[in-house]
């Protein structure tokens, strides 16, 4: 079973993750991961932290001479900002530390429920771990999963559909080309004509001490039919993707395929007719893809299409009303350094989160302990569905 855990505080010494269940024999370099980490750091509207950090992974186990061993892969990113936080975040009691607790929880953050749940008097003990800094670890893990998927010609792409209510026009191109267009600008939109308007919206929000959310779309091509399962709730691929994406900081909605619009459309215009095309990768095809590549909790051979709604970042430089946890008096919420908009970064994180879940389901179906063994299983399955 492919699984992972992450650990690390935003201003602690490092972010670490352990990924277990990757097969042996996969070529894997730090660069495969660093490319994804660098993409996560980009985007118009990011804050000062991204100027401080230059996220790079260090393998601590599981990889030897550029090839996976089949053992747990331990991944570490050093927090360069740690230097400024060593005293405040010291794991051992530090005589130089002058307590300065955060006591005014920020609406929309984990601050209040986290402090109540864990009995913390200093909200910093919650916000350090709740921070979206943790997504760097998820990108590390997802980047490894992506390498596995690429071996089987499965690719994950993304682009941003809207930011702060400014919508990109839909561009009708294959996913790889949409992705290329998205990579060409700092808001990751395929409609490059909307970039200026989004910049202006982000600038206006920043000037106003406000923040902006948005919607991005993740596309996965080359997924064979049969990942996930109809037989049990926790094996359904759509359910698993939604859970994984909803677990990402600031995500409030996930739609697959036609999404919420299915509720307003007659069945004859929702469901995708089936056809057979001997020249296609898997033989059986659908002549439309409103299902977003998933039927009955299983991939159906079409491109997987997922849209994700990210709320505006909760730290506002013009803070909302809050109460002091100690005095219970009304105050403006605490201010922590933050970004105005992180939707372009979220789309990169979303890609990597999706890559993990798809890789996990892929290994369940074709699992083996080495890439060679998985390849045999996969080719056997493809031959079988083509010959039936």
Binding site for ligand EPS (CB under 6 A): 10, 47, 49, 81, 131-133, 135-136, 249, 313, 315, 336-339
Based on CB atoms, which residue is closest to ligand EPS, 103 or 135? Answer: 135
Q: Which is nearer to ligand EPS, 162 or 314 (CB)?
A: 314
* Distance in Å, CB of 99 to ligand EPS, minimum: 20
Q: How far is the CB of 377 from ligand EPS (least distance, A)?
A: 37
The tokens describing 233, both together, are: 């709730």
DSSP symbol at 168: P
Q: Nearest CA to 288 among 262, 307, 326, 320?
A: 262
Q: Work out how close the CB of 345 gets to ligand EPS at its nearest, in angstroms, rounded to a whole number.
A: 6
Alpha-carbon distance of 310 to 135, in angstroms, equals: 14
Report CA dihedral (377, 383, 385, 388) to the nearest 10 degrees: -130
CA distance 218 to 292: 10
User: How do the residues of the chain divide into helix, strand and coil, expressed in percent and rounded to 5?
Assistant: 35, 20, 45
Least distance in angstroms from the C-beta of 131 to ligand EPS: 4
Cα dist from 3 to 20, 142, 236, 359, 360, whole Å: 5, 11, 17, 10, 8
Do residues 127 and 249 touch, judged by C-beta distance below 8 A? no
> Judged by CB, which is closer to ligand EPS: 88, or 375?
88
Which is closer to ligand EPS, CB of 88 or CB of 271? 88
- Whole-angstrom CA distances from 77 to 12, 21, 104, 349 are 11, 21, 30, 16
Contact 308/215 with Cβ under 8 angstroms? yes
Residue closer to ligand EPS, measured from CB, 212 or 313 = 313
In the complex with ligand EPS, the residue whose CB is nearer, 49 or 240, is 49
Q: What H or E segment, with its residue span, contains residue 3?
A: strand 3-7
Complex with ligand EPS: residue 133 or 159, whichever CB lies closer: 133
Spatial distance between the Cα atoms of 361 and 339, rounded to a whole number of angstroms: 34
Least distance in angstroms from the C-beta of 352 to ligand EPS = 13
| 211 versus 290: smaller Cβ distance to ligand EPS | 211
Residue where the block lists tokens 């990113």: 77
The sign of the torsion formed by the CA atoms of 5, 8, 13, 15 equals: positive
Smallest distance, ligand EPS to C-beta of residue 335, A: 11
**H helices of 53-190, where?**
82-85, 111-118, 124-130, 135-151, 175-183
Please state the closest distance from residue 51 (CB atom) to ligand EPS, in A.
10
Continuous H helices in 228-370: 237-246, 267-270, 343-366
User: Is the CB of 54 or the CB of 94 nearer to ligand EPS?
Assistant: 54
Our CB check for ligand EPS shows the closer of 42 and 270 to be 42
Least distance from ligand EPS to the Cβ atom of residue 43, Å:
10
How far, in Å, CA of 236 to CA of 36, rounded? 27
Q: How far is the CB of 110 from ligand EPS (least distance, A)?
A: 9
* Shortest Å distance, C-beta 337 to ligand EPS: 4
Nearest Cα to Cα of residue 321 among 329, 311, 334, 331? 331
Phi/psi of residue 294, nearest 5 degrees: -135, 125
Residue nearest to ligand EPS (CB): 49
């Amino acid at each position: 079973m492919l699984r992972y855990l992450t650990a690390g505080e935003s201003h602690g010494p490092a972010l670490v993750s352990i990924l277990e269940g990757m097969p042996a024999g996969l070529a894997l370099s730090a660069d495969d991961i660093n490319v994804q980490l660098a993409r996560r750091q980009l985007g118009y509207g990011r804050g000062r932290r991204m100027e401080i950090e230059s996220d790079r992974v260090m393998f601590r186990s599981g990889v030897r001479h550029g090839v996976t061993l089949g053992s747990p892969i331990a991944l570490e990113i050093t927090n360069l900002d740690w230097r400024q936080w060593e005293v405040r975040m010291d794991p051992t009691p530090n005589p130089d530390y002058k307590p300065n607790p955060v006591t005014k929880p920020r609406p929309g953050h984990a601050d209040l429920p986290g402090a109540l749940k864990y009995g913390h008097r200093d909200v910093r003990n919650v916000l350090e771990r709740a921070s979206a800094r943790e997504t760097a670890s998820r990108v590390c893990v997802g980047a490894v999963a992506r390498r596995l998927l690429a071996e089987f010609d499965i690719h994950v792409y993304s682009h941003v559909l809207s930011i702060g209510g400014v919508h990109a026009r839909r561009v009708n191109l294959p996913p790889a080309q949409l992705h290329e267009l998205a990579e060409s600008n700092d808001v990751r939109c395929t409609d490059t004509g909307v970039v200026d308007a989004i910049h202006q919206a982000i600038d206006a929000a920043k000037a106003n001490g406000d923040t902006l959310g948005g919607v991005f779309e993740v596309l996965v091509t080359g997924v064979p039919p049969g990942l996930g399962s109809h037989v049990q709730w926790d094996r359904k691929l759509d359910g698993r993707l939604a859970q994984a994406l909803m677990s990402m900081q600031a995500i409030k909605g996930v739609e697959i395929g036609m999404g919420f619009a299915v509720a307003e459309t007659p069945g004859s215009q929702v469901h995708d007719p089936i056809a057979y095309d001997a020249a296609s990768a898997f033989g059986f095809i659908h002549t439309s893809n409103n299902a977003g590549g998933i039927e009955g909790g299983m991939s159906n051979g079409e491109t997987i299409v997922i849209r994700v709604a990210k709320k505006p970042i909760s730290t506002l430089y013009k803070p909302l009303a809050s109460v002091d946890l100690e005095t219970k008096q009304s105050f403006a919420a605490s201010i922590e350094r933050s970004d105005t908009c992180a939707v372009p970064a979220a789309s990169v994180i979303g890609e990597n989160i999706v890559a993990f879940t798809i890789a996990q389901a892929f290994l369940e179906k074709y699992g083996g302990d080495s890439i060679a063994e998985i390849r045999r299983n996969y080719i056997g399955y493809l031959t079988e569905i083509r010959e039936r």
